[in-house]
Structure 1
């Protein structure tokens, strides 16, 4: 049983994931007047507005 489980794990195909950290660092470190909590794009803007609306109008 031990050999079977080790063989299954070691032969599993591995995905190659591209390292996007340097790209994201450039975006977040760019001095363009946008607050850091909104530099992530449209989704960050939506999350920010939703949070503000819930804060103001929520219970």
Structure 2
């Protein structure tokens, strides 16, 4: 039993560490300059091609879903013809 407790203690000490393995560069000021720049674009498209693609995909899926829901609403509101 003590062996399991000691093993658990060693594992917990290894996984919880305050030392960082990688140093990340703080790029907040670069992003602030990009998003505060007055270039006529809305803020959700200032990220570049990825943002534009994501926006168009989301808009397309939303329009498709709305049309699909309206189609099935119309289909379900029509009475079935008896044979």
Which interval holds the TM-score relative to the shorter structure?
0.7 to 0.9
Where do residues 29-40 of structure 1 align in structure 2 (5 Å cutoff)? Answer: 29-40=36-47
Higher relative contact order (CA 8 A, sep 6+): 1
**TM-fit CA distance, 1:14:** 1.6
Q: How many residues of Structure 1 are paired with residues of Structure 2 in the alignment?
A: 57
In the superposition, the TM-score normalised over structure 1's length comes to: 0.78
Structure 1 gaps, min length 5 = none
In the superposition, the TM-score normalised over structure 2's length comes to: 0.58
Structure 2 equivalent of residue 16 of structure 1: 23
> Superposition RMSD on alpha carbons, in Å?
2.0
Structure 1 stretches (4+) deviating beyond 6 angstroms?
A: none
Asked which structure has the greater CA Rg, the reply is 2
